[in-house]
A and B are shown apart, each in its own frame.
Chain A
């Protein structure tokens, strides 16, 4: 290629890089950091030989395997780290890869910004592949980071490499999947939704394959399962990783072929060209905010509902097992899961986690609001006789209501699951438990609103701080035994384990007051700033 031909390609890559560099750096650093911190705590946990033995025995319980993955190799720092954070970091990287890929490919195309790009000499497949390649630098950097910190922690080179590569390949797989769905569907939402559904279903396949021996083969069909099958530090198998790599390459090839077969702005599935008008929920800004939230709400409810149904279904087995093995309960408490011996305690522990996806949902919704402002869709509404406070207020109200529905869905699903297995959890207890996580969700929503008003480019990061950052802080603080005040910065540190105990009203009141203050400050900022467009 001559210099003239390569120049526009380089420009495309630089454009793509500018759009993902901030998120990419955060993801890679967080994942490597979490891995390093957990690896460093191994000696502390294992100082007690009884704890070490109990952790090992956990492997026998199918429910534990279902929820947290097969705990193999817990006796080594490497194996312990993989079990403790491997799944979380993999899901985190996979989800980021999907969101980033569809955002900078289909999202930019949707907003009409690729028309200009593609009027030059670069083909559509060339543009798509360059964007994908740019996203892939993040899984690659993450793989290097994980491997590096694990080796630096003194774990064996091979295991570190297998785990790092597995995580990186999983990121590769989901970035490729998202690039493909972005070619198939003519809009960002179904493209993202389908790729996230693939993530959810394959994660579920791994869980079922881990839990039910007869269905163990399911793991060969799932990137998460293949990662588990590679068995870092224990089996150190390369074949599952090769399969994962081959699958990802096949998807990338399919992406290129699909991109070559469609026009800019359309998908392989063409949007229905004409349809009758559906005028429901278009009567006011408030109802329009609800209308826009309905589809994402349905998708998130499906995912969260499925996960908590699974929790409900396994709750009886886990708690029975732990009740029979008190040493094990202590071990679980040591590993950050206290009170698992009763269904109420088990449910309370997992209900607290609910604030993470739902807080994430609230943040994503406010992020979509800012995106609508940035690509000027919001301009026509802002030019109507509707004040800024009402415009943003409608979005906040719709998001808060949708979040409440999401946590309620989780409560109903858990209750139904426990009921089916003949366990003992009342509907009220379940609902009290899930509603207890709402203050943290509202903190995230408030933080996101604050960002909308003052630093709109940072909505994703600022909104994620209370619910997701807070949880990571708690895990890290408990792992490395930081001063108490560091741990107390996390809202999760102040969450009572409902329904095991009653709600901690003072803490809830403080969180709600804080959420209100954040929201009000955000609205004030939004009223006084220029719209971005």
Chain B
């Protein structure tokens, strides 16, 4: 049997009376890009810190390619990590930090690193104290992607990046998969995991709700549409993908939309629509809608 890249067995972490992570059982196969999706406070960072041996589990255990996560000197030889909130030594320049990473880490490809510095548009000659949040994140991402480590653990790595850099990030994740590296990507953005992941674990209030396929994930993905109209209200009841219609009575109508909007738009075209607003609900709202409230802590 081949080892999982990452394995959690009954992994549990309690902070006093708060159960941040409740008996997580999870296997991530070598070579896959695994999304770890959950709203803020779900326990994603806690899980990752346990898997990296930065925090000690209250119960259960975690393994990295068969090595106990607590045996850091061994387990970390096969992984690279980008923390959620990157802090750097302020007096070192980007280049010096990348050098320190390369020399203390599991092995780095220097030419790919230089390429990544170009692609992420980082000025490595500046001291880290002058870097913005996004630039600090870039340093950590470049250091991680440039390693040859078979596993990359990324904790919400795009929260400080602008959209252009987010694209570069997705390119780098795909390149890592093509090289055979496993990627464990935590995120609270549905669109991000949809774009790059093969499988997605859904975490809510410390519980792994399910390990979902991409089609299941698409079903989760819905928009909230508000239309204002003059004249009679459009009839949307039978339109596929439209649900939870609420009429406010003041010439406004709200509904949720899953899948293709084509049918709904055709229907709206027949009415005298004066304004249209589309909102992406937060992940927590989607989860509440989808899984109900009973999974709260």
Rounded to whole Å, the gap between the CB of A264 and the closest CB of chain B is 12
The A-contacting residues of B in range 85-109, CB under 8 angstroms, are 85-93, 95-96, 99-101, 103-106
Q: Is the CB of A375 within 8 A of B54?
A: no
Rounded to whole Å, the gap between the CB of A93 and the closest CB of chain B is 29
**B104: contacting residue among A274, A284, A533, CB under 8 A:** A284
B1 sits at the interface (CB 8 A): no
Q: Is the CB of A531 within 8 A of B96?
A: no
Complex: A282 Cα to B96 Cα, angstroms: 8
Q: Is the CB of A385 within 8 A of B106?
A: yes
Residues of chain A within 8 A of B92, CB atoms compared? 282
Q: Is the CB of B130 within 8 A of A385?
A: no
Residues of chain A within 8 A of B140, CB atoms compared? 380
**B90: contacting residue among A110, A272, A386, CB under 8 A:** A110
What is the interface residue range for chain B against chain A?
35 or more
A119 sits at the interface (CB 8 A): no
**A265: contacting residue among B74, B79, B95, B129, CB under 8 A:** B129
Residues of chain B within 8 A of A110, CB atoms compared? 90, 129
A238 sits at the interface (CB 8 A): no
Q: Which of B28-36, B119-127, B188-196 contacts A (4 or more CB under 8 A)?
A: B119-127
Q: How many positions in chain A have a CB within 8 Å of any CB in the partner chain? A: 42
A376 sits at the interface (CB 8 A): yes
Residues of chain B within 8 A of A387, CB atoms compared? 72-73
Q: Is the CB of A277 within 8 A of B125?
A: yes
Residues of chain B within 8 A of A213, CB atoms compared? none
Q: Is the CB of A390 within 8 A of B56?
A: no
Given A265-B129, A284-B104, are A390 and B87 also a contact pair (CB < 8 Å)? no
Closest to B55 in A: A530
Complex: A273 Cα to B127 Cα, angstroms: 7
Residues of chain B within 8 A of A529, CB atoms compared? 56
B169 sits at the interface (CB 8 A): no
**B95: contacting residue among A277, A283, A531, A533, CB under 8 A:** A277
Given A277-B125, A383-B54, are A377 and B100 also a contact pair (CB < 8 Å)? no
Residues of chain B within 8 A of A271, CB atoms compared? 127, 129-130
Q: Total number of A-B contacts with CB less than 8 angstroms? A: 106
A18 sits at the interface (CB 8 A): no
Main secondary structure on A side of the interface with B: loop
Complex: A180 Cα to B35 Cα, angstroms: 48
The B-contacting residues of A in range 359-391, CB under 8 angstroms, are 372, 375-377, 379-388, 390
B174 sits at the interface (CB 8 A): no
Rounded to whole Å, the gap between the CB of A313 and the closest CB of chain B is 36
Q: Is the CB of B126 within 8 A of A273?
A: yes
Residues of chain A within 8 A of B100, CB atoms compared? 282, 288
Q: Is the CB of A376 within 8 A of B87?
A: yes
Complex: A293 Cα to B54 Cα, angstroms: 25
Residues of chain A within 8 A of B49, CB atoms compared? 530-531
Complex: A381 Cα to B87 Cα, angstroms: 11
Residue of A111, A273, A382 contacting most chain B CB atoms (<10 Å):
A382
Q: Is the CB of A390 within 8 A of B55?
A: no
Q: Is the CB of A273 within 8 A of B130?
A: yes
Closest to B89 in A: A377
Given A277-B99, A277-B125, A278-B96, are A377 and B88 also a contact pair (CB < 8 Å)? yes
Residues of chain B within 8 A of A47, CB atoms compared? none
Residues of chain A within 8 A of B134, CB atoms compared? none
* 1/0 contact string of B72-86 vs chain A (CB within 8 Å): 111111011101011
Q: Is the CB of A385 within 8 A of B56?
A: no
Rounded to whole Å, the gap between the CB of B106 and the closest CB of chain A is 6
Q: Is the CB of A283 within 8 A of B103?
A: yes
B52 sits at the interface (CB 8 A): yes
Complex: A76 Cα to B103 Cα, angstroms: 65
Residues of chain A within 8 A of B91, CB atoms compared? 187, 189
Q: Is the CB of A385 within 8 A of B77?
A: yes
* 1/0 contact string of A281-299 vs chain B (CB within 8 Å): 0111100100010000000
Given A383-B52, A386-B104, A529-B56, are A274 and B96 also a contact pair (CB < 8 Å)? no
Q: Name 11 interchain pairs, CB-CB below 8 A, sorted by A.
A: A110-B129, A186-B129, A187-B90, A187-B129, A279-B99, A379-B87, A384-B105, A385-B72, A387-B72, A388-B72, A531-B49
